[in-house]
Structure 1
Amino acid sequence: MATTTISTTNIIQMTVNDNDYNSHFEGNLLDISADPEAYYRVVLFGYITPIFFLITLAANILIVLVLSRPTMRSPTNLVLLSMAVADLLTLIFPVPWYFYMYTLGYYKFLLYPALSCNLYHVMSEILPTFFHTASIWCTLLLACQRYVYICHPTLAKVWCTNQRVTRTILAIFLLASVHQLLRIMPTIMDDNSIIMNTNNESMINNEPQKACRQVIAKWTTSIENLYFGTYFVFRIVFVHIGPCFLLVIFNVLLYNALKRAEKTRNKLLNKQQSTEQRNGSSGWNKQQQQQQQSDDHQQQRKANRGRDANSTTVMLIVVVTVFLIVEIPLAVATAIHVTENMFTVDIVSDRFLSMTIIFSNFFIIISYPLNFAIYCGMSRAFRETFQQMFLKNLFTIRLTARSSSLNPFISTATTTSTTTNTTTTTTTLSSSNTATATTLTRMKNISSASSKGHY
């Protein structure tokens, strides 16, 4: 164990003594209590986030249950399903630490031992970033897939199949995991004893305290700047700025495609109305009128399918728009933060940048339950499946329970009446003659034949 006297800041730079990994290594002390924005973190992540986590948990579980139904299986729904799972897992891992640190107030004390620090680092940073990265790429896949459906329907039959989409989703999660694995590999947490010149509540009489120190592994020291520079540049280009830029383009293209489809549908409706007026005045025979009615029916079915497709497209545009509203500020803040650190420049104040990142992350969290509301409000298939799975069964159970409680003697009376009638019928059949039995058999056959003809 090394003993080092340091002063606390938000992230404390400290020099490690010779009996540790290496004399020239520098490490970061994990001290959340020194965070100047701790008050906002306590309010946002300690009190509000757990509430939205419970809402998101319920909403996304319902989304998964509905979209996993065999009748709902489609390439688009597979992507929506993967997004719901990724968003849910983005919250599941850090929320226990938010509750421990900010709700219970343990952020005021140094976290220890190294196992706890490693769990905190992985569950509050690595895993949420992994799943959120996968969610971002799945959102981009959703927009790209819908664009192919609308603007290149012939290609959609080849590329937008359930099998191909499933493989793409698996590849997205695999690539996101590799991306975050490269982030955690060069990081080492170890136990350390320190004397801190601070007013921290966990420090008493400046006695040595147990704490966690985060250091860089030996194999990355010679390429540290290149390694982390490459990682963060990749993250800016391919996780934040790049996907947001492409999503804006796809949203504009999808909106323009919807406007063109609306104009085409209006032209077809006007043409159909004019044709009906001419047919009514030209005195067509009955066969011609029936043929025209059949053609009109087919056109109406095509129009309904087109209307459903357009509704799905509008829903996805809304989903992507909500995503962009909460993601663009975080993308810009991340790009500024990385630029300042790589080129040692000051673009904005550290406090402003930190507050922007805190509130951006918070707004991303509270946006998760909105997808369920969007699906219910704008997708007829999702709404009907949800009603069939939950609301209909719930209504039936309540109605049955209410009927049983209000009429406790009906079932008993009915059972007694049924038993009496059964006994009487059995006695009558046993004592009747052969002609009566034959007549009943014929009546039963006639009834059976009629029933088969109905179905």
Structure 2
Amino acid sequence: MRSPTNAILAAMAISDTFTGVTPLPVFVHFFSLENYHDFVEYHWCYIYRYLGELIPTIFHTASIWLTVTLALQRYVYICHTAAARRFCTIQNVIFATFIIYMLAILSQITRFFDFEFTPFPMFSFDSPNSTLVTCIERTSPWVNQNENLYFNLYFWFRAIFIHLVPCTILVVINSVLIWTLRTAQKRRMQLLKQNKKSESMKLKDSNCTTLMLVTVVGLFLLVELPLGIIMILHLVQNNFDIDIMSNETFKLLNLISNTFILLSYPLNFFIYCGMSRQFRETLMSMFDTIKTQNSRKRYASIPTDNGRTMAESTCRETVL
């Protein structure tokens, strides 16, 4: 199934997976093992920030722009077929993915150095007679000089270039693709009336692929747009002293939006299964191959007389 489109889908799947998997050590340690009752130990302070916030943000940013790349590529395939043969290649997809990841890292790189943790001994909640070394977070000296300017630039940059611009591009491209789908469906009906079944089948496969990608992008917009709107409203409230809602409400809405984003990631797999015949057939053939190989291994490993396997014994008796 190697193709430029599937290469981008694979890159998106990797990005989405690491967005959800990277924070797991933090969540398991603090919440599953109930270590949130006490202060955060000093050696966990950096781990919590890196794995719980910064690295997942890099993968999520990459996933957003990979989705934009997917929609742009499909638009070129449908509306500029001649240019697609030249620009939409697996090599170009790999190069674009590399550039997107580099830019995603650069967009977040300053956040790795804009804070520092200082060790600080505290009496433990769980064991009042013992102390543990926790941490106090401070902004780095270079940030303190222009703290408001720095954080305003960072969050407005994210709101505009990581949420608003990608979502706007996707809304426009998805609208064009849906309009193109309707036009293509009318053309397919004309081809059927003219008894041009082969051309009709090719157009049908192309339409199915486009519809699948439109669905993937639509699901992405459904969960990403609310988060972008929440971030912009929060920035407007903080910068212009407009009372929109309380910080607790913003935190709750942000938590709900991020939860829906994480829950949406596995749905892409079911979209592929439900809307791509090639994906279903390839997936089933993989399981059939694994099943056949396991059956052969079990059959070849059954011992018989004199240490020979069943296959060897049967073959020898046949020859004799």
Per the TM superposition, whether the score is higher than 0.5 is yes
Q: Is the 8 A contact 1:183 1:231 kept in 2?
A: no
What residue in structure 1 maps to residue 192 of structure 2? 269
Report SS of the residue matched to 1:348: coil
Q: Pairwise CA RMSD of aligned residues?
A: 2.7
Instruction: Tell whether the 8 Å contact from 2:236 to 2:242 is kept in structure 1 after alignment.
Output: yes
Q: How does 1:166-315 map to 2 (within 5 A)?
A: 166-193=94-121, 201=125, 204=128, 210-272=133-195, 299-315=196-212
Spell out, residue by residue over 1:341-394, the C-alpha distance to the aligned partner (whole angstroms, 9 max, x if none): 333332112222211111211121122111111112212222222222223431
Residue 192 of structure 1 aligns to a residue whose secondary structure is: strand
Structure-2 change in CA distance of 1:352 and 1:203 (3 Å): farther
Q: CA deviation at 1:260?
A: 0.2
User: Structure 1: any 5+ residue segments left out of the alignment?
Assistant: 1-71, 273-298, 421-455
Work out the CA distance in 2 between the residues paired with 1:213 and 1:410: 68
Offset from partner CA, 1:421-453 (integer Å, 9 cap, x none):
xxxxxxxxxxxxxxxxxxxxxxxxxxxxxxxxx
Deviations 1:105-143 (A, max 9, x none): 111211121x32011100100000000010011011111
Is the Cα contact below 8 Å between 1:220 and 1:227 reproduced in 2? yes
Greater CA radius of gyration, 1 or 2?
1
Counting matched residue pairs gives: 315
1:140 aligned partner, one-letter code? V
Question: Does the 8 Å CA contact 2:18/2:59 hold for their aligned counterparts?
Answer: yes
Q: Distance in 2 between matches of 1:400 and 1:79?
A: 36
User: Which deviations, in whole Å up to 9, do the C-alpha atoms of 1:198-231 show, x marking residues without a partner?
Assistant: xx945849x9864312211112222221111111
Q: Is the 2:121–2:133 contact (alpha carbons within 8 Å) kept by the matching residues of 1?
A: yes
Segments of 5+ residues of structure 2 without an aligned counterpart are: none
In the alignment, the residues of structure 2 paired with residue 175 and residue 336 of structure 1 have an alpha-carbon distance, to the nearest angstrom, of: 25
For residues 160 and 140 of structure 2, what CA distance do their matches in structure 1 show? 26
Superposition TM-score, scaled by structure 1 size = 0.64
The one-letter code matched in structure 2 to 1:80 is: L
2:39 and 2:125 in contact (8 A); partners too: no
Matched, 1:154 2:79: no
- By relative contact order (CA 8 Å, sep 6+), the higher-ranking structure is 1
* Matching residue's letter, 1:177: I
Counterpart amino acid of 2:90?
N
Secondary structure of 2:41 counterpart: coil
SS of the equivalent of 1:360 reads helix
The answer as to whether partners of 1:110 and 1:202 remain within 8 angstroms in 2 is: no
Kept in 1, the 8 Å contact 2:188–2:204? The answer is no
Q: 1:404 to 1:230 in 2, by over 3 A?
A: closer
Q: 1:376: which partner in 2? A: 273
* TM-aligned CA distance change 1:255 to 1:189, over 3 Å: same
Which of these residues, 340, 346, 357, is aligned with residue 237 of structure 2?
A: 340
| Structure 2 residue matching 1:110: 3-state secondary structure | coil
Q: Distance in 1 between the 2:272 and 2:184 partners?
A: 22
Which residue of 2 is the match for residue 85 of structure 1? Answer: 14
Are the aligned partners of 1:194 and 1:208 in contact in 2 as well (CA < 8 Å)? yes
**TM-superposed deviation, 1:172:** 0.4
Q: Label 1:310 to 1:112 Cα distance change in 2 as closer, same or farther (>3 A).
A: same
SS in 1 for 2:194: helix
Aligned residues: percent identity?
38
**TM-score, with normalisation over the residues of structure 2?**
0.89
